A = this chain, B = another copy of it.
Amino acid sequence: MSSKTNPGNFFEDFTVGQELPHATPRTVTEGEVAMYTALYGGRFALQSADQVAQDLGYPGAPVDDWLTFHIVFGKTVPDVSLNAVANLGYAQGRFLAPVFPGDTLSATSTVIGLKENSNGKTGTVYVNSVGRNQEGETVLDYCRWVMIRKRDENAPAPAPVVPDLPDRVDPETLVVPGVDLSAYDPRLIGQSHRFGDYQAGEKIDHVDGVTIEEAEHMMATRLYQNTAKVHFNQHTEGEGRFGRRLIYGGHIISLARGLAFNGLAPAMWIAGINGGAHTAPAFAGDTIYAWSEVLETADIDGPLGALRLRTVACKNRNASDFPHRGDDGRPAKDVILDLDYWALIAK
């Protein structure tokens, strides 16, 4: 009977080179966009107003890049991470084409690495996940690796394959939209700074804090059709390690991005994901703050420049002292997200 239900893949179900076409393509509409606004309060002008987008040369406002990410990510969960112990990292992520309301997204992952852990109980699975629109055009391409349980601890270990993933996306490989800045109005964008106003090493406290409610993170995670059990079931999580439902790490990314408007309003395009770690769990009732550091600036061709940013989220303490790592190199207490990405900004 249980043969009808999906138990998810265990470590020994994966093989290098395996293709996983994920279920349930999804049409993204203005409905998702509004829900996303209600969840994160985003005010980035390109995604907020058709008129601003059209002035920049778009047919209309594209959806938030992180909404695209979460939907593609959500599709991978039933096949990749239903039996995950931990989401270990991201690399080599690129947003390759904008997504507009009406587009239908589907996703496929390819297994690019496998390494059993010495305890024989778990292993790391590396996947390259690709999101495509209804034209078959790739909108997002990224790698992540997760620690997955074995079904049978006696199953033999596969030959280890660890992909060589770069620390950062080469900015020359970012896909940069050919926007028209002739009607660019900083007053409507919300901040007058441009590419040249940001310097490597600069740190920005995003000031505000936002408290998370159970209803919010669950509605968000369902909006992404992400089915990871730990986010939804207090009956079992109440007996679990934390006694609480765990919040989807992507919810924190989007909360931090929403907060980051205050200081990064003109950085309206997310172009690449260099890496990221969910360094500690978050729970309903936590208040999230964020700060960002400019790690690098890349004066790429065209009207936009690239800022390599680290955005750090912390909980139940403000970010005015830029908490990041302790002397031991480990994430500082209360730091819950350490995200390294490329954003684009008008020159």
Contact = CB atoms under 8 A, between A and B. Distances in A.
Interface of A: 1-2, 4-6, 21, 23-27, 29-35, 37-45, 48-52, 60-61, 78, 101-102, 104, 106, 134, 187-191, 193, 197, 202-211, 213-216, 218-223, 225-227, 229, 232-236, 245, 258, 262-265, 285, 287, 316-318
Nearest to A292: B4
Contacts of A208: 227, 229, 232-233
Contact of A188 (B24, B48, B258): B24
Nearest to A23: B190
Chain B CB within 10 A, most for which of A33, A218, A258: A218
A288 to B, nearest CB: 9
Nearest to A198: B4
B5 A24 contact: no
B6 A316 contact: no
Contact of A30 (B29, B219, B223, B317): B29
A51 B23 contact: no
Given A39-B222, A78-B190, A29 B31 contact: yes
Main secondary structure of the interface of A (DSSP, over half): mixed
29 contacts: A4-B191, A4-B197, A4-B204, A5-B206, A6-B191, A21-B188, A23-B187, A23-B190, A24-B43, A24-B45, A25-B51, A29-B31, A31-B35, A32-B34, A32-B37, A38-B219, A38-B220, A39-B222, A41-B222, A41-B226, A41-B227, A49-B106, A78-B190, A208-B227, A211-B232, A211-B234, A215-B216, A215-B219, A234-B285
Contacts of A218: 210-211, 213, 216
B235 A316 contact: yes
B49 A27 contact: yes
Given A48-B27, A235-B316, A213 B214 contact: yes
